[in-house]
Amino acid sequence: MPKRLVDVFDRGGAKLFTYMIGLEEEACLDAEFEEVALIFAERSGLVAAEEIPHLTAACEGAASVPESVQVSKPARAKGNVLSLIKHRMKKASLSGSARSKRHA
């Protein structure tokens, strides 16, 4: 199970959270780890609803682009990676509830 530290930033670039993310698949993309971190930040209840679309995430140790070269990111759209992550999280929660039913 690959694990990565992922930082979540607000629109001003201030670090809000750092999460240790572990995914079951061995060949996961950085974007998958980042999407999970964003989902955790959104569900934490510690970020105002109007700030959620402006959150960004980056795996620690990832090469960063200098600010002078950065282009503003468009609003995050639901894509294949996000759908894959949500599917995996749902699958994991279902298998966890099935395990707890067996133990009861």
pLDDT per position as a tens digit, 45-86: 998 989 999 999 999 865 443 344 344 444 555 555 556 666
Specify if 69 maps to a domain. no
- Cα–Cα distance between 6 and 81 in angstroms, integer? 16
Domain that holds residue 33: 3-62+75-103
Predicted local distance difference test score (pLDDT) of residue 10: 92
Answer whether residue 80 is part of any domain.
yes
Residue 33 lies in a domain: yes
Strand boundaries in 1-104, DSSP class E: 3-9, 15-22, 56-59
**Any domain includes 67:** no
Give helix 80-103 / helix 30-43 axis angle, nearest 10°: 70
Please give the pLDDT value at position 57: 94
Residue 43 lies in a domain: yes
Residue 38 pLDDT grade (very low, low, confident, very high; cuts 50, 70, 90): very high
Inform me whether the pLDDT recorded for 100 exceeds 70: no
Rounded to two decimals, the pTM is: 0.58
In this predicted structure, what is the pLDDT of residue 9? 95
Task: Identify whether the C-beta of residue 30 lies closer than 8 Å to the C-beta of residue 37.
Answer: no
C-beta separation of 57 from 27 below 8 A: no
Q: Are 81 and 30 in contact (CB under 8 A)?
A: no
